[in-house]
Amino acid sequence: MEGTVSKNTIDGICTITFFHPQSNSMPGELLNLLSNAIEQAGKEEDSKVIVLESQGEKSFCAGASFDELVAINDFETGKKFFSGFAKVINAMRKSPKFIIAKVQGKAVGGGVGIASAADYTLAHISADVKLSELAVGIGPFVVGPAVERKIGTSKFASLSINASEWQSSNWAFEAGLYANVFNTHEELNSETQKLAQTLSKSNPEAMSMLKKVFWQGTENWDTLLLERAEMSGKLVLSDFTKNAIAKFKAKA
């Protein structure tokens, strides 16, 4: 596997970094590594706050691996494929530690889901967003609950329906997806570190209790996101979706 996930804790700040050479797209194995790293950080006593980031400057996350998507030929494989981001989102949701997402570049599909599932998301001005799933005949079913919870039903619907168009980082800021947007990567890095340092010195019990309050009402997501993965797993086998994917691949 070409991608990597690393975890490093210094002075109470656990930084989890993921990377894949194809615009930080996420194959299933990488998603498993990421969800495991988040779960582990949540259990570690020396980890007080989690910073989630990716390498490079152009793309935060291009969503699920397109190479794996086009290879799906049966329902179980499809269900497993679309369950990848469900595992990551649920790991973020259930972690007792606050998770700060540092979005330094564009986010597509599952990348928008990760940005939405973080407790606090900071972004660079270049961090435009797009939910492109409908454009290839599926839909943002798995990431939908996280995105809708963060920005509301109306804006989630707009982002889902207008699947071929990018929305700017300022749009995402005004929608509530990003807590702040910075003009330089230096500012983004500095402000992320500053907030993480403050939280690393805050009361762990208070932060854990606050996190439970923030995520109240999502207790059914283990089941819900799996059901959503099954919806996508079924759709990806349809002739319509296979043709849409073939056309998309031809343009790429």
Averaged pLDDT for residues 3-10: 97
Q: Residue 67's pLDDT is what?
A: 83
pLDDT of residue 71 exceeding 90: no
Cβ–Cβ under 8 Å, residues 127 and 72: no
Q: Residue 35's pLDDT is what?
A: 98
Structural domains for the chain: 4-200 (3.90.226.10)
Cα–Cα distance for residue pair 104/157, rounded to 1 Å: 25
Q: Residue 203's pLDDT is what?
A: 98
Cα atoms found within 13 Å of the Cα of residue 170, Cβ hemisphere only = 1
116: which residues sit within 8 A by CB, 6+ positions away? 143, 146, 147, 149, 150, 151, 177
Tell which wins on pLDDT, 69 or 173: 173
Which residue in 108, 216, 232, 208 sits closest to 164, CA to CA?
108
Mapping DSSP to helix (H, G, I), strand (E, B) and coil, where does residue 217 land? coil
Cα–Cα distance for residue pair 121/112, rounded to 1 Å: 11
211: which residues sit within 8 A by CB, 6+ positions away? 95, 96, 97, 98, 119
Cα–Cα distance for residue pair 180/9, rounded to 1 Å: 24
pLDDT of residue 75 exceeding 90: yes
Q: Residue 1's pLDDT is what?
A: 66
pLDDT of residue 252 exceeding 70: no
- Percent of the chain past pLDDT 90, that is, above it, reads 88
Averaged pLDDT for residues 64-81: 89
- Could you tell me the pTM of the whole model? 0.95
Q: Residue 66's pLDDT is what?
A: 83
Which parts of the chain are beta strand (E)?
Answer: 4-10, 13-19, 49-54, 59-61, 99-103, 106-108, 120-124, 129-130, 180-182
Q: Residue 83's pLDDT is what?
A: 95
pLDDT of residue 24 exceeding 90: yes
Q: Residue 5's pLDDT is what?
A: 98
Cα–Cα distance for residue pair 82/132, rounded to 1 Å: 15
